[in-house]
Each structure stands twice: as structure tokens, then as C-alpha cells.
Amino acid sequence: MAKEILVTGGAGYIGSHCVLELVEAGFAPVVIDNFHNAIRGSNTVPESIWRVEEIVGKKIPFHELDILDETGLQNLFKKHRFSAVIHFAGLKAVGESVQMPLEYYKVNLTGTIRLLETMKVHGVKNLVFSSSATVYGDPAYLPLDEKHPVGGCTNPYGKSKYFIEEMIRDLCKAEPDWNAVLLRYFNPIGAHKSGKIGEDPQGIPNNLMPYVAQVAVGRRDYLNVFGNDYSTVDGTGVRDYIHVVDLAKGHIAALKKLKENCGCKIYNLGTGTGYSVLQMVKAMEKASGKEIKYKIIARREGDIASCFANPALAEEELGWKAVFDLDRMCEDLWRWQSQNPSGFSKN
């Protein structure tokens, strides 16, 4: 019997790619999602999960559920015997978090506490948590390794990730029978090679590459480049972009780590290579064959100049490293966007 893995927020961009890799690795993922970041589609399951089922040729158990719903969580854990939980569910828009901090702390912190409490009651004490490089704040040195100080994040979204990391660390200290792997994502981009699933932000994309892809496919006229006066290779912001499938495979490696009764472990999931905004634009023009117009405008509040990972610890302790290069990230992103100009919605 394949091991059941609960995937909270499994209908989202990273969650759905992780669900696919879980099935391919022989696990039995069970997905919960409240449709905050997912399109309902014309099926009983979210469109993204329906497409994952198409790709893998298997049904994926799905329950529409909010992690704040304690009764719903209790009933779910009574119905299944989870060997671990991969926790993606939460609010994730940096700018929005500044406008509505309470909502972000309620969903991300209280939601996680209710999940952890339910796990404890049902004796499920293996957790992979979706954290973020944003917990490092403005880097004191680069590349960023896991020893770099954390907590310097300035927005409520980043702080919520930091607070949840601290909650999980304290829980693992107090109760040594817990095992948790905290994964600090750098900048996930791209899509599964089928082009059937991908990132589909609702409204105006906050992140660079979904916006660039929408310019390439003609949904937007041009990209606004947020400043070109940073001390970087060409003045524009540098980030560590990682293929979402590489990122998803990192979660499979984390599940295997849990089986070693590892206690609480923290890993960067990045490539170790940084690219600037203009380098990303050029890479996407090459992948799509389209011109991507842009305008240089003022810096975005809260942005940092450069951020990229030292990925050595994950390679050493998880036996994981990113394998897809920038061209492949952009080719896969273009296949998804060009085959789905309006994302998952039909219109």
C-alpha cells in the first residue's frame, strides 16, 4: 500500500507539481485546498489537479478544505492514515501582506497551528514545510547558506514564514518524536514538460516570470522593470530562479530524510546561480521567439539587489540538487503559457 501523504494547498502552482512528483515516486498524495489560489474548473477537483490526474493516469483524492477548519481537519485525519504532511497552504503575496497583516497571520500562523495540533492528536509527526528565502531578509553575505541570520524580513508574509519556522523548531525541541524538514525556496519558475500545469496568478502577476510570460503571449503590452540602479551586473535585480520540477523533487528527497528520524532540518532549495531581470527577459525571448518590451521604472518598495543560494547542504544531506538550466526553465514556461494563454480558465 503506497504511503499516504497529505498535501495542503496541493492545487496551487508548487503544490500541484509536487503532487505529480509524489505519484511518480510511488506515494499516494491526498490534496486539500480552499481554492484561494486555484481555479475550480469544470470538474469536481481543481483544474490543476484534474490535469495532474490526466498526466499521471490516476485519480488523486481531493477534499475542499481550509486549514483553519478544525472539524474538517479532524474528520480528514480520521479518514486517512497519513505517514507525512507537506504543508503549502497559506497566503503568499508580499505586497498584499503589507495591506492586510492580520489576515496573513491568521491564515498562515493560526492555520499552521491548527494543522500541527491535528497532526499531533492523530500521531502524524512527519512534516515538510514550504518556507522561503525571504526569511533571510536583505543578505549580509552571498551566496546564502542556512547559517545566515533569519528574521530580517520586512513584510508580514515573510515574517509569517519565519514565525512558522520558529514554531516548528520549538515543537521539535519540545517533542523529539517529531521530524520536520523546512525548505527555503528561492524563486520557483517554469512548468511541467507537458505544458498542462503551470503558474496561473489571478489578476496582475506580482512575480517577474509569470508577468514576462504574459507579455510574450500578448496578454500584457510590456514589462515594468523595477529599477536598474542596483549594484548588479546590469543594474537590475538578481535572483536565484529554480525550475518548479526541481523544487518539487526536493520535497520527495525531504520525505526520505524524515524517515531517518532527522528531527528538525532546514535546507535551501536553489540553484546557486543568480540571474538579473534583463538576463531573464533575454532568456524568455530566446525560448519564445517573441520580443518582450519593457520600461525601466522606479525600484519596488522592499526589494533587495541580489539573492542567490548556497545549495550545498541539500546536496550533501538530501542527495538533491537542481538539474534544469535557465533555457529549460524558460522553454517549459513558454510551453505552458503558449498552450494556456489564459492559464487554467477557459476564456
For position 214 contacting ligand WQD by CB under 6 A, the verdict is: no
Exposure letters 106-127 (e unless 16+ CB within 10 A, then b): ebbbebbebbbebbeebebbbb
Decide the pairing of beta strands 179-185 and 62-64.
Answer: unpaired
For position 224 contacting ligand WQD by CB under 6 A, the verdict is: yes
Residue 108's region, left for phi above 0, alpha for psi from -120 to 50, else beta, is: alpha
For position 239 contacting ligand WQD by CB under 6 A, the verdict is: yes
The residues in 181-200 that bind ligand WQD, with binding defined as CB under 6 A, are 185, 187
For position 215 contacting ligand WQD by CB under 6 A, the verdict is: no
Strand partners for 82: 4
Site stretch for ligand WQD (CB under 6 A), options 115-123, 144-152, 219-227, 316-324: 219-227
**Could you confirm whether 13 is annotated as catalytic?**
no
Nearest-approach distance from CB 129 to ligand WQD, in angstroms: 12
Site stretch for ligand WQD (CB under 6 A), options 51-59, 115-123, 201-209, 251-259: 201-209
Residue with cell 538576463: 279
Query: What values do phi and psi take at 130, rounded to 5?
Result: -80, 95
Query: What is the Cα–Cα distance from 239 to 203, expressed in whole angstroms?
Result: 23
Residue 155 C-alpha cell reads as 513584510
Among 225, 242, 247, 314, binds ligand WQD (CB under 6 A): 225
Site stretch for ligand WQD (CB under 6 A), options 6-14, 121-129, 206-214, 282-290: 206-214
Length of the chain: 347
CA atoms lying within 13 Å on the CB side of residue 101: 6
Among 23, 277, 309, 326, binds ligand WQD (CB under 6 A): 277
Site stretch for ligand WQD (CB under 6 A), options 5-13, 166-174, 223-231, 323-331: 223-231
By C-beta, is 169 or 220 nearer to ligand WQD? 220
| Alpha-carbon distances of 278 from 30, 47, 201, rounded to whole Å | 40, 33, 22
For position 208 contacting ligand WQD by CB under 6 A, the verdict is: yes
For position 206 contacting ligand WQD by CB under 6 A, the verdict is: yes
Secondary structure of the chain: what % helix, strand, coil (to 5)? Answer: 40, 20, 40
For position 207 contacting ligand WQD by CB under 6 A, the verdict is: yes
For position 329 contacting ligand WQD by CB under 6 A, the verdict is: no
- Per the residue annotation, which of 104, 157, 230, 241 is the catalytic one? 157
Closest CA to 10 of 61, 44, 82, 71: 61
For position 243 contacting ligand WQD by CB under 6 A, the verdict is: no
- Vertex 191, ends 258 and 275: CA angle to 5°? 90
For position 300 contacting ligand WQD by CB under 6 A, the verdict is: yes
Amino acid letter, 183: L
Query: What values do phi and psi take at 5, rounded to 5?
Result: -120, 125
Nearest-approach distance from CB 230 to ligand WQD, in angstroms: 8
Query: What values do phi and psi take at 154, rounded to 5?
Result: -105, -15
Residue closest to ligand WQD (Cβ) = 237
Site stretch for ligand WQD (CB under 6 A), options 4-12, 17-25, 69-77, 221-229: 221-229
Binding-site ranges for ligand WQD (CB under 6 A): 92, 94, 132, 134, 185, 187, 206-208, 211, 223-226, 237, 239, 277, 300, 303
| Residues that are catalytic | 157
